[in-house]
Each structure stands twice: as C-alpha cells, then as structure tokens.
Amino acid sequence: MAIKRDSVSKWHYDIGPRIFKILEKNKERALHYIPDYCGENKFEVRCFNSDGYYIDLNLKTCSCRRWNLTGILCPHAISYMEDKDIDPVVIVNECYSKNTYEKAYHHVINPLNGLEAWKKTGH
C-alpha cells in the first residue's frame, strides 16, 4: 500500500502512466480518422478506407465500444478531440485519475507483532 501511495507523487499527469501510454497510442491511431460534427456533441468518424464510427460525447460512447467498456478514449473519439484542441486526459474515466488512486491507497496498514508475541488462547 505504501509503495502504491508513494508512486502517485511521480505521476506527471492527472491519470496513471499506463493509461497515459494507451492514450498516446490511440492519438497516433487517430491520425487515420476524419471527424465530422453532427451537432449536440455527436459526430461521425470515417477512416480513409471508409469505416465509420458514431461518437456521442454526452454519453461518452463510441460505436466501436472500446470507450464504453474501458473508460479510455478510443482513437475515433480522440480524432475529434485533437481536431477541437480538447485534451483527452480530462475526458478519461474518473477511475483512472490521480485523485481516485490517492483515495484508494491513502489508508495505512499498521504492522503486527510476530506470532511469538501473540497472546496464547485455548483456540
């Protein structure tokens, strides 16, 4: 617990380093998509080979379902974010945030004496 708690201070972003690497890979893949805004925070993304995906920013969903299942933006959603200069890090699910991680590991587990120091009982 202490090691996990201390590791948070080394994070350079508001999300964990592993999640940040996934976002960076998805940013590279997003270069292959062209977003078309439809209105009301909804848009369609097309690939150069004509694959199309529907993204709803209000619901934080994509028809590929990666974003829905993991909470991490897929390349399709990132293509729109990059086009509008929106930082994908702020859209990632709260469960991957620095604040959530700190809450999960803020408890301290106190050490115990060894078995030989325990009180003897009849059980």
Q: Can you give the residue ranges of every domain in the chain?
A: 2-110
- The pTM for the full model equals 0.80
Is the pLDDT assigned to residue 87 strictly greater than 80? yes
Identify the bridge partners of residue 52 per DSSP, sorted by sequence position: 46
d(CA 123, CA 121): 5
pLDDT at 56: 93
What single string gives the DSSP state of each residue in 63-113?
TT-HHHHHSS--HHHHHHHHHTT--GGGTS-GGGBHHHHHHHT--------
- 48 CA to centre of own chain: 27
